[in-house]
């Protein structure tokens, strides 16, 4: 079965029913995300060597564009997920890749920092989030804003200052169950209703040192080469309202989404509010 055929079924059977509660009640579309995982769509861009779909940005854009026509919240979740997976795939070796390929794992970006740190909307500068290593454990401390699926994802692509050296930034794939990783009592808003977009805090979070993605201090190159181009394309496919600030300085901004609906299914729309 092609990914487009699988997507058509999931949009009709799971994503469309989740759209109404997402808009009316701000409910996270958990059933839709789970169905996308079972259909192999969360693992669409993971290497086939690990059981993923082995596809790329054009197919991810297609999935996001078609999903956005049905449920903007689910499209927002997929945009953050695919952009994070692009970074993880570029470095390889992450503990999360097999779980993502199997459709059991949702990952999201945790890059932007709050306005009082002076970095919100500028995830390619020097983070204020700190990292300190103690033997085989790293303590991450900081706050991220505009995190899609905050408190809902299985892991987060987190940026911090390097463990050593003054320059660059370091990326980590932080498990959601790590103690002291939490959404505050007054979460920040933003994003489509139901997307779970909020602030995420680490106060601090203790993680194994091997959840580092790539080399210490080398995360900026990953963000510029992989995350930023994917976000520009995926954000445009989602309608331009999602994660626009994460394009960073000098970004071209969202481009009009292509007409990605093919012959396998017409445009689906969420059920009207009761």
Contacts of 181 (CB under 8 A, 6+ apart): 156, 174, 200, 201, 202, 205
Asked if 98 contacts 272 with a C-beta cutoff of 8 angstroms, the reply is no
Neighbour tally for 26: CB within 10 Å: 14
**pLDDT band, very low/low/confident/very high, at 239 (cuts 50, 70, 90):** confident
Percent of the chain, pLDDT > 90?
A: 73
- Mean pLDDT computed over 201-226: 95
Q: Stretch 199-203: mean pLDDT, rounded? A: 94
Helix (H, G, I), strand (E, B) or coil at 212: strand
Shortest CA distance to 155 belongs to which of 112, 203, 105, 199? 105
The confidence score (pLDDT) of residue 49 equals 95
Q: What's the DSSP call for residue 106?
A: -
Predicted pLDDT at 244: 41
Q: Is 135 exposed, middle or buried, given 0-12, 13-18 or 19+ CB atoms closer than 10 A?
A: exposed
- Most confident among 106-115, 122-131, 169-178 (mean pLDDT): 169-178
Position 35 confidence tier, pLDDT thresholds 50, 70, 90: very high
* Average pLDDT of the residues in 9-20: 98
Q: Are 121 and 112 spatial neighbours (Cβ–Cβ below 8 Å)? A: yes
In the predicted model, is pLDDT for residue 220 greater than 90? yes
> Rounded mean pLDDT of the chain?
85
How would CATH label the architecture of 108-217?
Answer: Beta Barrel (2.40)
Assigned CATH class of 3-106+221-247: mainly alpha
Please report, for the chain, the start and end positions of each structural domain, with discontinuous segments joined by +.
Answer: 3-106+221-247, 108-217
pLDDT at residue 190 greater than cutoff 70: yes
Task: Write phi, then psi, for 132 (nearest 5 degrees).
Answer: -140, 135
C-alpha 11 chain-centroid distance: 19
- The pLDDT tens digits of the residues spanning 243-256 come to 443 444 333 333 33
Average pLDDT of the segment spanning 238-244: 59
Residue 192 has pLDDT above 80, yes or no: yes
- For 180, residues 6+ apart whose C-beta sits below 8 A from its C-beta are 202, 203, 204, 205, 206
Instruction: Using pLDDT thresholds of 50, 70 and 90, give the confidence band for residue 184.
Output: confident
pLDDT at 121 > cutoff 90: no
Q: What secondary structure does DSSP assign to 126-191, as a single string?
A: ----EEEEETTEEEEEEEEEEETTTTTSSEEEEEE--SSSSSSBEEEEEETTSTTEE--SS----S
Please work out, in degrees rounded to the nearest 5, the angle formed at the alpha carbon of residue 96 by the alpha carbons of 194 and 218: 100
pLDDT band at 92 (very low <50, low <70, confident <90, very high): confident
Q: Are 146 and 120 in contact (CB under 8 A)?
A: yes
Confidence bin at 188 (pLDDT 50/70/90): low
Question: Please, are residues 96 and 40 in contact by the beta-carbon 8 Å criterion?
Answer: no
Q: Structure pTM?
A: 0.86
pLDDT grade, residue 72 (50/70/90)? very high
Give backbone dihedrals phi and psi of 89, rounded to 5 degrees, phi first.
-65, -35
Phi, psi (5° rounding) for residue 265? Answer: -175, 140
Q: What's the pLDDT at 187?
A: 65
Residue that wins the pLDDT comparison between 38 and 114: 38
């Amino acid at each position: 079965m092609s990914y487009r055929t699988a997507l058509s079924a999931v949009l009709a059977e799971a994503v469309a029913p989740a759209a109404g509660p997402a808009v009316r009640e701000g409910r996270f579309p958990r059933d839709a995300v789970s169905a996308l995982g079972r259909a192999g769509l969360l693992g669409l861009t993971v290497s086939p060597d690990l059981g993923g779909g082995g596809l790329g940005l054009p197919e991810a854009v297609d999935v996001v564009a078609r999903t956005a026509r049905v449920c903007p919240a689910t499209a927002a979740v997929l945009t953050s997920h695919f952009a994070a997976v692009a970074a993880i795939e570029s470095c390889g070796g992450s503990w999360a890749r097999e779980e993502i390929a199997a459709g059991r794992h949702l990952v999201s970006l945790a890059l932007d920092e709050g306005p009082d740190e002076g970095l919100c909307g500028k995830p390619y500068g020097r983070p204020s989030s700190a990292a300190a290593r103690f033997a085989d454990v790293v303590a991450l401390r900081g706050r991220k804003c505009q995190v899609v699926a905050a408190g809902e994802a299985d892991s987060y692509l987190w940026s911090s200052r390097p463990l050593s050296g003054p320059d660059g930034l370091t990326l980590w794939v932080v498990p959601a169950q790590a103690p002291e990783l939490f959404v505050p009592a007054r979460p920040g808003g933003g994003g489509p209703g139901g997307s779970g977009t909020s602030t995420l805090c680490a106060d601090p979070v203790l993680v194994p040192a091997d959840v580092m993605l790539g080399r210490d201090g080398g995360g900026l190159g990953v963000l510029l080469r992989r995350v930023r181009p994917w976000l520009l394309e995926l954000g445009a496919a989602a309608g331009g309202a999602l994660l626009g600030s994460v394009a960073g300085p000098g970004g071209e901004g969202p481009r009009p989404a292509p007409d990605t609906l093919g012959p396998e299914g017409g445009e689906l729309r969420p059920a009207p509010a009761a």
